[in-house]
Amino acid sequence: MAFDRSVKIAPSILSADFANFGAEIRAIEDQGADWVHVDVMDGHFVPNLTFGPPAVKAFRPHVKTVMDVHLMIAPVDQYIDAYADAGADVLTAHIEAGPHIHRTVQAIKAAGMKAGVALNPGTPAESVQHLLDMVDLICVMTVNPGFGGQKFIDMTDKVRALRSMIGDRPVHIEIDGGVDPKTAPKLVEAGADVLVAGSAVFKGGSVDNPVVYGQNMDAIRKSFSA
Ligand code: DX5
Ligand code: ZN
CATH number of the domain enclosing 104: 3.20.20.70
The answer as to whether 3 is a domain residue is no
Report if residue 25 sits inside a domain: yes
Q: Is the pLDDT of residue 122 over 90?
A: yes
Q: Is the CB of 95 under 6 A from ligand 1?
A: no
10 confidence band (pLDDT: 50, 70, 90)? very high
State the ligand closest to the CA atom of 11: 1
The residue to mutate among 9, 12, 92, having the most atoms of ligand 1 within 8 angstroms of its beta carbon, is: 12
Does residue 198's CB lie within 6 angstroms of at least one atom of ligand 1? yes
Q: Determine the pLDDT at residue 2.
A: 87
The reply to whether omega before 210 is within 30° of 0 (cis) is no
Domain membership of residue 121 as a residue range: 8-225
Average pLDDT over residues 129-138: 98
Q: Which residues are catalytically annotated?
A: 39, 176
Q: Report pLDDT for 1.
A: 80
Q: Which atom of ligand 1 is nearest to the CA of 41?
A: 6
From the CA of 37, give the closest atom in ligand 1.
Answer: 8
In a domain, 201, yes or no: yes
Asked if the structure places residue 1 within a domain, the reply is no
pLDDT per residue as tens digits for the range 211-220: 999 999 999 9
Task: Tell me how crowded residue 69 is: count the other CB atoms within 10 A of its CB.
Answer: 24
Supply the DSSP symbol for 125.
Answer: G
> Is 225 in a helix, a strand, or coil?
helix
Q: Would 194 be classed as within a structural domain?
A: yes
CA 89 to ligand 1 centroid distance, Å: 19
Cα(146) to centroid of ligand 2, in Å?
9
How many Å lie between the centroid of ligand 2 and the Cα of residue 12? 7
- Please give the distance, rounded to the nearest whole angstrom, from the Cα atom of residue 183 to the centre of ligand 2: 16
Cα–Cα distance, 159 to 165 (Å, whole number): 10
136 is a domain residue: yes
Q: What is the mean pLDDT of residues 48-60?
A: 98
Do residues 66 and 113 make contact, with C-beta atoms less than 8 angstroms apart?
no
Look at residue 106 and tell me whether its pLDDT is greater than 90: yes
* Closest atom, ligand 1, to C-alpha of 179: 12
Residues around the ion ligand 2 (C-beta < 5 A): 39, 70, 176
Q: How far is the CA of 92 from the centre of ligand 2 (A)?
A: 9
Helix (H, G, I), strand (E, B) or coil at 114: strand
- Give the number of domains in the chain: 1
In a domain, 118, yes or no: yes
Q: Which ligand 1 atom minimizes the distance to the CA of 48?
A: 6
CB-based contacts of 184, cutoff 8 Å, min separation 6: 195, 220, 223, 224
pTM for the full model? 0.98
Burial 146-171 (b: 16+ CB within 10 A, else e): bebeeeebebbebbbbbbeebeeeeb
State which of 9, 15, 152 you would mutate to test the pocket of ligand 1, scoring each by most atoms of that ligand within 8 A of its C-beta: 15
Residue 2 lies in a domain: no
